[in-house]
Amino acid sequence: MADIEQERRDKVRQMVKDARICMLTTRTKDGKLVSRPMALQDVEFDGDLWFFTYADSDLVEEITLQPQVNVSFSDAKQNNWISIAGDATRVDDPEKAKELWNPVLKAWFPDGLETPTLTLVKVLGHSAEYWEAAHSSKVVTAIGYAKAAVTGKTPDAGENETVRL
């Protein structure tokens, strides 16, 4: 059983690595859910997700009040979806920021690592659920859905698993 769990964790790692862009969902102080697009910074996903943001952002305020978050990825190329539940914290660590920095980030943080109020958000993932399409070809998937509609049988939608991280 342990081998199966490890295989599933490895699959989540690869799916996260392939997707890279996600929606990070937090709760506002009045309990409303808010999602925002974020770019994952650490390619070697080990259960932790790292993001750059501003220390005075709504995101930081929200995770300070309510650290439970959800991070969802969609990889249209592979027809894969991943949802990761975890706890988020603000991390002020210049060495970690330097390690994770990518020059593309200058579009959002014009002064690079010297950007005032630049900070990191770390999400410690507790569990993940993923959906992996049975076929990576959209045409094959569409044919399968059309066949299911005609025959009344449920289509082969692929694999769905929940994984503890």
The answer to whether the Cα torsion of 152, 156, 157, 162 is positive or negative is positive
The pLDDT of residue 146: 47
Nearest to 118 by CA among 131, 108, 128: 108
The answer to whether the Cα torsion of 10, 14, 20, 26 is positive or negative is negative
31-42: per-residue pLDDT in tens? 999 999 999 997
57-114: per-residue pLDDT in tens? 999 999 999 999 999 999 888 889 999 999 999 999 999 999 999 999 999 999 999 9
Structural domains of the chain in order of their starting residue, each with its CATH number: 2-164 (2.30.110.10)
Inter-residue contact 91 to 122 (CB < 8 Å)? yes
Gap between the Cα atoms of 159 and 150, Å rounded: 22
Gap between the Cα atoms of 58 and 79, Å rounded: 31
